[in-house]
Amino acid sequence: MSLLSDDGMAYPIEQSLFDYSGLYLPVQALRDLSIQHVLNIEGVWEAANTEVNTNDLSKNILFLEENNGCLTPGEIIEKNGKYEINISLTFCQFLWAVGLYISTVFDNVVQIPMMNAMGCNIHGYKANMAAVEFAGDSFFRARRLLETQWRKEIFFEIPNICDPQAFRDEIGKANALMISGVGFIFAHELAHSYLGHTQTVSNANQMVKDEIAADELAFDWLAETFGADDGYTNKVGIANLLCALLFMGPDSVSGGGSHPHMDIRIDLLMKRMDVPEIDVLWGYVGSALRLWLMVYGGYSIAEDMALKPFNFYRDFYDFYLAKLRETRQRLFPEWVKPDWYVE
């Protein structure tokens, strides 16, 4: 199977080792759409074409399962003298469930009660707690994909997206967010090649800078779509990807010396979204930060309930981002070299 452009450039997609016949899992139904989505962006297509012709980028994109837990969403690796973009199907499956969960919880548990409190729920939206339960169940099943030893059957516990039944709207949002998120993963790895990172050997400090630079270039490429009909969805898809990276575990908030810390990475890209302080995107990401803090950061429901109401979604986001940064600094203190230290 290949994805062809008008000028004939192909990106063959290597088939999964799993048998998906008769099933419609997110990773089966959406992975090719994700690549088509991002390669339809002019800047991405031009960069990919340039890199294939001049910088040893392989035309192959490998989607693979990780049998020892989800270790990396994507990477660009040298293989047979070429640099090949690899994307984790395991992470894609997890990413879909994160989009389902955060969007459903935000709509029903955060946004509708907030509109009720402010007296602006003019359409009389009602919270759908059955959808919240469905999304929560799907998300917590998907979290098992992150376990060191997971059973392949876990893949098939994710809902069939072509038979959404009562949760058509929720599944539709999750599908769109996964397509945009996987597109950003591809663009990020392509950016590493385009910026020459595959041709140099970097120390830890430079690796962090390279990751930020790849994020920024990938964002610039995808920003070409922001003015289109689905442009806002692409913004949320990028934000949702960052939330999924954070949700990978208690250690994910730290960059570990080779990546930017997640509080920094999230804030750099969120500030580039160029949305007003009342925009719900701040609330969407703020809700994800709040959840991580409650699960991994020792932040309690009692503390949260004692808070005064926020004026804007941006205030909501800023509060939980500051809490996330404090927690990261507490859990992963960075060693500061004393003046007398000599390398």
Question: What digits encode the pLDDT tens for the residues 7-25?
Answer: 433 344 444 444 545 557 8
Task: Give mean pLDDT, residues 254-282.
Answer: 94
- pTM of the predicted model as reported, rounded to 2 decimal places: 0.89
Identify the weakest region by mean pLDDT among 56-65, 157-166, 181-190. Answer: 157-166
Task: Calculate ∠ Cα 135-138-139, nearest 5°.
Answer: 85
Which band of pLDDT confidence, cut at 50, 70 and 90, is reported for residue 342? low
| pLDDT higher than 80, residue 137 | yes
Query: Among positive and negative, which fits the CA dihedral 132, 134, 135, 140?
Result: positive
37 near 187, Cβ under 8 Å? no
| pLDDT higher than 90, residue 340 | no
Radius of gyration over alpha carbons of the chain, in Å? Answer: 20
* Helix, coil or strand: residue 319: helix
In DSSP terms, which residues pair with 63 in a beta bridge?
87
What is the per-residue pLDDT for 127?
84
Task: Give mean pLDDT, residues 47-63.
Answer: 91
Identify the weakest region by mean pLDDT among 46-50, 226-230, 313-317, 321-325. Answer: 226-230
What is the per-residue pLDDT for 338?
61
Q: What is the mean pLDDT of the chain?
A: 86
What is the per-residue pLDDT for 226?
94
Per-residue pLDDT reduced to its tens digit, 95-123: 999 999 999 999 998 888 777 777 787 88
Residue whose tokens read 């600094």 = 329
